[in-house]
Amino acid sequence: MKDSQDTRAPGDATRAITKGRTSAEHYGAVNTPVYHASTILHPDVDSFERRHDPNTDRRKVIYGLLGTPTTFDLEEVVADLEGGHDAVLVPSGLAAISVALLSFLHPGDHLLVADTVYPPTRSFCDQYLAGMDVTVDYYDPLVGAGIESLIQPETRVIFLESPGSFTFEVQDIPAITAVARKHGIITVLDNTWSTPLFFKSFSHGVDVSVHAATKYLSGHSDVLMGAIICAEHTWDQVKRTHRHLGQCVGPDDVYVTLRSVRNLSTRLNAHEKQGLALAKWLSQRDEVATVLHPGLADHAGHAIWKRDFLGASGLFSIVLHPKSREAVLAMVNGMTLFRIGASWGGFESLMIPVYPEQYRSATAWDASGATLRIHAGLEDFDDLIADLDAGFNRLNQATRGD
């Protein structure tokens, strides 16, 4: 029986199902339909000429580029889940990063970027932003409040990604955002690993949160999309840049992503359970030097992860004891369930060698063995263990044959 005194706010799983649902506008259909639309017809010239009135309803459909009910519903649910003010969709995670940064950076500005960001973020900063006369400096992701000593009069943005790509360093985000706020600097966080469910950016002082919706939000390895979720004071500027750059996302992709967000909580909890169980099993293997998973008690970032995050998704890495490249390839190439491929966040398990040392400038990565990035998919745990076990046998056999 429902307790009439129950004043709790609905939980994440509930809001993932109830927010961004406009069935009443769609004949009661549970799912918001796909609107294929560029031209939107207006009843008369007055209405047409007032279509860009800044006071128009946020959900007013005026031109396909600027959104349809399907787009608005997805934007609403992701913004709500993370506790943001509003959100826009873009065609990829990388577009979310570039549009967010371009919203706040101008020639002559200075940008601070975590040394462990997704490598294409680094290329965008070094090759595109630097070309428009933005100075880029990389910082140790573990710098915490020490970021203050790196701030210059021209610093406009601090970019964070936590945990870091490939190596999973956990940043002290509240410490960094407190310093940024004091200096009037905007913080942009790549929150893809956590999704809006496992890290609530805005209650930790972040100004803009970017996501590769390509990963868990869409969740089936068949969509490319990004989302930029904003605190209220950053919304107008991001929305304007999004508009100027002509960003929009195809309606079918929006539909399937909205469909996937409805069960994000269930999927993410399953990825978390699977990832942690695999990480624990891997940490017992003699071939493994280190497991880089923030959910493990012996991970350097575990205390901060536990303090700030609400869960761990299914992506982590392991560092092997030194073996020949041939032995590592014998292991990885022969895997049957952990497949080789870029991206992550779908239902399937993945394993790829990664080379963190190629993407560091402020810190060193000096592990002597190979680093393998693993995505824990939703297959049966025992089948994944059998695949890993056979992989380690190939690694050992190839090593003995060296």
Q: Which residues bind ligand PLP (CB under 6 A)?
A: 92-94, 118, 161, 165, 190, 192, 212, 214, 224, 226, 343
Q: Give 99 or 367: the residue with its C-beta nearer to ligand PLP.
A: 99
CB 380 → ligand PLP: shortest distance, Å?
26
Residue in the block written with tokens 């190439």: 333
Q: Closer to ligand PLP at the Cβ: 165 or 171?
A: 165
| Residue 278 Cβ vs ligand PLP, minimum distance, rounded to whole Å | 19
Shortest distance in whole angstroms from residue 317 CB to ligand PLP: 12
- Cβ distance to ligand PLP smaller for residue 14 or 123: 123
Q: Name which of 20 and 91 has its Cβ closer to ligand PLP.
A: 91
Nearer residue to ligand PLP within complex by CB, 206 or 330: 206
Complex with ligand PLP: residue 71 or 191, whichever CB lies closer: 191
Q: How far is the CB of 315 from ligand PLP (least distance, A)?
A: 8
Which residue lies nearest ligand PLP, judged by its C-beta?
Answer: 93
Which amino acid type is present at position 300? Answer: A
Least separation in angstroms between CB 101 and ligand PLP: 13
The CB-of-90 to ligand PLP minimum distance in angstroms stands at: 9
